[in-house]
Structure 1
Amino acid sequence: MVETTTKLKKFTILHSNDMHGDFLAEAKTGQGGLIGGLSLLSGYINQVRQTEKNTL
């Protein structure tokens, strides 16, 4: 009899697409604040990396 063990490992894949020059944040219409931009994306990536061990 062959005994097998399965060891699963969780990982998170982050992906972005269609940036097309939208590197800077833009003002929200009528709501104030900013949306988008690479600084927002960078902040989100860093937040996920702090909470998820294996992030790609």
Structure 2
Amino acid sequence: MSTKKMGRPPSDKPKSRTIEIRVDQEIMNKLDASAEKLNTTRSDIVRKGIEKVYDDLQK
């Protein structure tokens, strides 16, 4: 019998850090609408936003 572990394979970039923010209802509605429209998660939308701001600052 194999001794391989079952489950997901290890990630190249594990997401081990957590941030918590406070937002008003309007921002939460925009975040949820964006995630639904792009068929992704809230976290992915926030990551994309951070990348966009960072890229804009590098210009």
Question: By percentage of residues, which structure has more helix?
Answer: 2
Question: By percentage of residues, which structure has more strand?
Answer: 1
Q: Higher Cα Rg: structure 1 or 2? A: 1
Provide TM-score, normalisation by structure 2.
0.33
- Which of 1 and 2 has higher RCO (CA within 8 Å, sep 6+)? 1
